[in-house]
């Protein structure tokens, strides 16, 4: 299984001790404000089971993220193949969810860059997308900091009610060629 590390973070397989802090972040209304609802412990464990099994079967997916200095679990970041009927399928998506105590430190961007690098450089993906409710400005900033480009292809998410303020989503794209060009530019400066 592919595990990734950054200067401050480890993206790894899920562990039993991740379940309680993951349930706490999924129950936090602030963390989940751009999702249709919070998750109870049972739903949170089911989601962690899904993440764990996808990593085991494919070697990549939504990794648990831990701080290197303390091994504290902070959330997840990674790659997933969405199971919704989206207008841009087939695709591989990058996503993240971090506990509120770890916001504002650049962890989502740092881990997302590592996941994008793995997706393009190790897995050979041609494009990675990300999407969120158009009002989720924090996630959109992470997308932009990682080099993703707003495609202008907004859509109504099929899992969100049409009357919800969260229904309209924006789609960001990052082609492999753009990622690799950015990596080459960074190495030459």
Question: Residue 186: what pLDDT?
Answer: 60
- Per-residue confidence (pLDDT) for residue 188, from 0 to 100: 53
Q: What pLDDT is recorded for position 187?
A: 59
First to last CA, the chain: 33
Name the residue range of residue 8's domain.
4-187
pLDDT at 184: 62
Structure tokens that stand for 85 in this block? 């009927």
Helix (H, G, I), strand (E, B) or coil at 86: coil
Which segments of the chain have a pLDDT < 70? 184-189
Q: Which residue has the tokens 């349930």?
A: 23
| Tally of domains in the chain | 1
- The string of pLDDT tens digits covering residues 23-56 is 999 999 999 999 999 999 999 999 999 999 999 9
Global pTM reads: 0.94
Supply the CATH number for residue 40's domain. 3.40.630.30
């Amino acid at each position: 299984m592919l595990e990734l590390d950054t200067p401050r973070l480890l993206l790894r397989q899920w562990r039993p001790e991740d379940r309680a802090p993951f349930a706490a972040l999924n129950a936090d209304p602030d963390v989940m404000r751009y999702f249709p609802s919070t998750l109870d412990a049972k739903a949170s464990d089911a989601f962690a089971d899904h993440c764990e099994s996808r990593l085991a079967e494919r070697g990549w997916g939504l990794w648990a993220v831990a701080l290197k200095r303390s091994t504290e679990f902070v959330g997840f970041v990674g790659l997933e193949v969405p199971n919704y009927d989206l207008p841009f399928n087939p695709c591989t998506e990058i996503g993240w969810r971090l506990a509120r105590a770890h916001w504002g430190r650049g962890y989502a961007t740092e881990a997302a860059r590592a996941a994008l690098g793995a997706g393009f450089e190790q897995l050979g993906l041609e494009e990675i997308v990300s999407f969120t409710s158009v009002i989720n400005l924090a996630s959109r900033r992470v997308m932009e900091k990682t080099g993703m480009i707003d495609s202008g292809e907004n859509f109504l998410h099929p899992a969100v009610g049409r009357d919800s303020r969260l229904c309209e989503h924006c789609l960001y794209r990052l082609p492999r060629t753009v990622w690799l060009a950015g990596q080459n530019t960074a190495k030459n400066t």
